[in-house]
Amino acid sequence: MKHFITPYLLSIVLATAALLGGHANAAASLPGTTTTVVLVRHAERTAVTKELTEKGRARAGDLRDQLASARVSAIYAPDLARNIDTARPLAELLNIDITLVPENPDIDALVATFLTQHAGSTVLWVGNTNNLKQI
């Protein structure tokens, strides 16, 4: 379990850095609120079909378990099977929809959405290597 928790703690640190100025043109959280954005990369996938592997499905379940009590109120992901399948166990547990966005979203607009439409809440972003680097 030690190896699993470390990436999620790193995600929280990266989320905090992004919200505190890591993205120069991003909107700020509304006054009097703190918005938490948890950033994760999709779980392991196959090289050919790009679907989650057995290990990836287990990691998606672990993500659900780790964030079950984190008060996540919104989940965003690119419209790709591997991202959706990573987010699905938590979305089903919390009975919330996954908001799908393009594979390469406008990062400034996405961050602004997190901070304004979900002010004071916890948001999960299940991204890919490229869009996570941009955030």
Reported as a single tens digit per residue, the pLDDT across 118-132 is 999 999 999 999 899
Q: Does 70 or 12 have the greater pLDDT score?
A: 70
Half-sphere exposure at residue 61, Cβ-oriented, CA atoms within 13 angstroms:
7
Q: In this structure, are residues 60 and 89 in contact, taking their beta carbons and an 8 Å threshold?
A: yes
Question: Where is 87: in which H helix or E strand?
Answer: helix 81-94
- Could you report the per-residue pLDDT of 41-83, keeping only the tens digit for each? 999 999 988 899 999 999 999 999 999 999 999 999 999 999 9
Chain-centroid distance of CA 88 in Å reads 12
Give pTM, 2 decimals. Answer: 0.79
Residue 29, pLDDT score: 67
